[in-house]
Amino acid sequence: MLWRSSQTLRRFSTGRVYFQNKLKLALIGQSLFGQEVYSHLCREGHQVVGVFTVPDKDGKADPLALAAEKNGTPVFKFPRWRAKGKTIKEVAEAYRSVGAELNVLPFCTQFIPMDIIESPKHGSIIYHPSILPRHRGASAINWTLIMGDKKAGFSVFWADDGLDTGPILLQRSCDVQPNDTVDALYNRFLFPEGIKAMVEAVQLVADGKAPRIPQSEEGATYEGIQKKENAEISWDQSAEDLHNWIRGHDKVPGAWTEINGQVVTFYGSSLLNSSVPPGEPLEIKGAKKPGLVTKNGLVLFGNDGKALMVRNLQFEDGKMIPASQYFAAGETSVVELTAEEVKVAETIKVIWAGILSNIPVIEDSTDFFKSGASSMDVARLVEEIRQKCGGLQLQNEDVYMATKFEDFIQKVVRKLRGDDQEEELVVDYVSKEVNEMTVKMPYQCFINGQFTDADDGKTYDTINPTDGSIICKVSYASLVDVDKAVAAAKDAFENGEWGRMNARERGRLMYRLADLLEENQEELATIEALDSGAVYTLALKTHIGMSVQTFRYFAGWCDKIQGSTIPINQARPNRNLTFTKKEPIGVCAIIIPWNYPLMMLAWKSAACLAAGNTLVLKPAQVTPLTALKFAELSVKAGFPKGVINIIPGSGGIAGQRLSEHPDIRKLGFTGSTPIGKQIMKSCAVSNLKKVSLELGGKSPLLIFNDCELDKAVRMGMGAVFFNKGENCIAAGRLFVEESIHDEFVTRVVEEIKKMKIGDPLDRSTDHGPQNHKAHLEKLLYCEAGVKEGATLVYGGRQVQRPGFFMEPTVFTDVEDHMYLAKEESFGPIMVISKFRNGDIDGVLERANNTEYGLASGVFTRDINKAMYVSEKLEAGTVFINTYNKTDVAAPFGGFKQSGFGKDLGEEALNEYLRTKTVTLEY
């Protein structure tokens, strides 16, 4: 079976549940998969009475043999079981001597005679990497991908005298991701879940509960073993079929074609969903259209006009190169090593010698794989180098691309010097000369480390609220794009570098990202002003400034996330240890609003990343541009592919899919209460994913007559008009004590008249445009307030100029039953209600008479009154003699229908972590 090349060194544990029924087992097979099945069966209490495996190769024993010999289990190494069609007598006698009750074949390349298969009391069970009866035969995983199956999986079946035709004992399946290779599919699902399934199957047999479900012939297929000679690429196919053929042969036996008279094998295929980048043409035998050697790889074309990209190429001599370097493959010069680099080379030589123990001396010409190394040795080599060479991070591909020792050392040295960095991110910008600078804005979806058009090519216009002009066309993510982004995040979490990265390194990347946000703060603030209408000076200080602070704060938390030890009450003489571990949840979805596009992104994604999760983020449809610029900076900071994904588009399509997606384990949302309710319902129905919601508000601000009036006026205005009133904690209703009410209103109106309304990029502007046209139109309900009996003291109209500007507005005489008193405006509308002098409890009752509970405030010089009021107000945040003073270290979130869960502070981390309790007895 070709999937044996995919083995990667891993350890998995099944739950240790000891059943009464145990069996004597003969394990027939090989490989790391066989070793893991053996270890888990022993751990579960079954007796492996004999291991039958292949002879040593190049002086190295198979992993299964090594584990069994270490355990003292009898090991038999037969080159074959039969000769001239008959079972070899000596082999049969050795097998029967162990007295097995069941044969377990987790992975076996040898032909086992039927008299051996039928010999034990319970017969034989076999693992097969397909959902039988589909893809019977030895290349099942390959054909799953070649045929473009949407589902993959494995079967454990009872052996019979047919080819993979015996009755089914159990089956498991998984989705095939668009760019899965044999390795990816095996490592993600077939290997770990296959081990668990084999253990489960043996226990079912032991308990007499193992089913025997006959295989249907409907849908049955058989495909032959894929060998190098029949893996040549046929070019008259669609791009998707070409992609499936190439990935179905990656890494063994490798799909190949002829280029310039030489056989070249392709690895690392992916469908190209964005525009074709520029490149140098490359003629390929049989292809109707030349390939293109680009910065990112070799672009190939199907007969449907669509394209795919291949990342790596391998030549006949075994040398592998990045496809982007095809025309420069022979130009790399040999670098001279410094004294420090010579020491590193000597350390690596010792590591090679330890792995290639059958080779007397490691020479410059020693080839890693031709000397007997397997793919599991690649993982060992990469890990040992990381441990013994100062944390040097290599990828498995580095080994495949430099298999000879001298070439490998050259690659290591170039990586140490920074000469072997990945090609620069390709970004198609929309550029604008504005604010005395050139602003460069990405506009495509950002998925798996690449900017790409939406799958169906759809776009939409993002509008500058200052004048109503179109800034640019932005990719409109489809359901396919959401699924691609989630798949990339899942792969990055489960299989990628991010999941293996230590916490301190994760923090280093976040600190670097914070630095880049700060270095680009003027450009980011300008984009924020263009896209959201934020006043530039406010955007610089708050929208961007607090985003930088947030990433720095949570970067510091990365290596300080801790569990605890717990003394449990157990009777002696048992000794017990119980402790908790804080673990990342997995793939998280984040949906953010349009009022603080970058800051809301930072509030949620920084905590999410610090906890070790990966994310798919949907910015608000009307303000996507700073999120996409953030994606570009994340690549520059060094975040691995797939960790951060940004999908612009609509809430009804992309947002809804995120809330329903089965692979997302946590969703963080900031937005309106009605949408929050819908999201919570979808999250519950889909897979009960964890949810945190920061929703609407109608925050009360209580101003008592013993306040410092100048400060109360100034901060009361900020509480309402800050960021054009588009502020989740804006004071939605001001309660002013009767004796100071009229003076307060007069002074507020005087100050409003001094405010400059205009272009947010003008440094003297106080009040910019509302975020978008639909929101402005929603705010223009002031006539309804007057009809209800409220007094419109100032404003209430759209400003007569281009763009979406609204006058700062003040209402008085607002009674508790009025629309103005109940509904969140989310705009520059001050709603003032009067309360009787000294009526503290009365005004508190009125302030709390709302289903919202996000924020609140009180102004008074009396500290006892202030503390009493703060205790009674039903809100997640209470400001005393100040307002809008949030800080990255202080948790932020609401009560009641303002949502639950916290952003910021240590508590925010818990929204993106899960707690595991571990108890052991010793």
Q: What is the DSSP string of 127-156?
A: EESS-TTTTBSTTHHHHHHHTT-SEEEEEE
d(CA 864, CA 486): 52
Q: What are the tens digits of pLDDT across the range 58-98?
A: 777 889 999 999 999 999 999 999 998 899 999 999 999 99
pLDDT at residue 632 tops 80:
yes
Count of beta carbons in the 10 Å neighbourhood of residue 702: 26
Max mean pLDDT among 107-116, 137-146, 860-869 falls in 860-869
d(CA 607, CA 613): 9
* DSSP secondary structure code for residue 230 in this structure: G
Is the distance from CB of 190 to CB of 7 less than 8 angstroms? no
Mean pLDDT along residues 791-819: 96
Which tokens go with 70? 């270490």
Please tell me the predicted confidence (pLDDT) of residue 423. 54
Q: What are the tens digits of pLDDT across the range 17-48?
A: 444 689 999 999 998 899 999 999 999 999 99
Report the chain's terminal Cα–Cα distance, integer Å: 42
Sign of the CA dihedral with 714 first, then 715, 720, and 723 last: positive
Is the distance from CB of 149 to CB of 176 less than 8 angstroms? yes
Q: Which helix (H) or strand (E) holds 739?
A: helix 738-754
Please tell me the predicted confidence (pLDDT) of residue 356. 86
d(CA 797, CA 94): 95
- Phi and psi at 468, nearest 5°, equal 80, 10
Q: Is the pTM of this model over 0.75?
A: no
pLDDT at residue 594 tops 60:
yes
User: Residues at the annotated binding site?
Assistant: 110-112, 164, 592-594, 618-621, 651-656, 671-672, 778, 824-826
Pairing of the two strands 913-921 and 576-584: antiparallel
Q: What are the tens digits of pLDDT across the range 194-236?
A: 999 999 999 999 999 999 999 999 989 998 888 889 999 999 9
Q: What are the tens digits of pLDDT across the range 344-389?
A: 889 999 999 888 888 888 888 898 888 878 777 887 888 888 888 8
pLDDT at residue 2 tops 80:
no
- Taking CA atoms, 221 is separated from 7, 169, 229, 241, 359, in Å, by 26, 19, 22, 19, 43
Please tell me the predicted confidence (pLDDT) of residue 571. 58
Please tell me the predicted confidence (pLDDT) of residue 278. 83
Please tell me the predicted confidence (pLDDT) of residue 162. 87
d(CA 97, CA 81): 15
Q: In sequence order, what are the beta bridge partners of 806?
A: 798
> Where residue 666 falls among pLDDT bands split at 50, 70, 90?
very high
| Residues noted as catalytic | 128, 694, 728
> Where residue 819 falls among pLDDT bands split at 50, 70, 90?
very high
Q: Which residue would you say has higher pLDDT here, 356 or 633?
A: 633
pLDDT at residue 422 tops 70:
no
Please tell me the predicted confidence (pLDDT) of residue 441. 97
* DSSP secondary structure code for residue 48 in this structure: E
User: Residues at the annotated binding site for (6R)-10-formyltetrahydrofolate?
Assistant: 110-112, 164
Q: In sequence order, what are the beta bridge partners of 588?
A: 615, 666
Please tell me the predicted confidence (pLDDT) of residue 664. 97
Is the distance from CB of 752 to CB of 808 less than 8 angstroms? yes
Please tell me the predicted confidence (pLDDT) of residue 262. 92
Lowest pLDDT segment from 295-299, 542-546, 872-876: 295-299
> Where residue 584 falls among pLDDT bands split at 50, 70, 90?
very high
The gap from C-alpha 666 to its chain's centroid, in whole angstroms, comes to 11
Q: What are the tens digits of pLDDT across the range 243-259?
A: 999 999 988 899 999 99
d(CA 437, CA 467): 19
User: Residues at the annotated binding site for NADP(+)?
Assistant: 592-594, 618-621, 651-656, 671-672, 778, 824-826
Please tell me the predicted confidence (pLDDT) of residue 693. 97
d(CA 50, CA 42): 12
Please tell me the predicted confidence (pLDDT) of residue 605. 98
Q: Outline where 227-337 has alpha helix (H).
A: 239-248
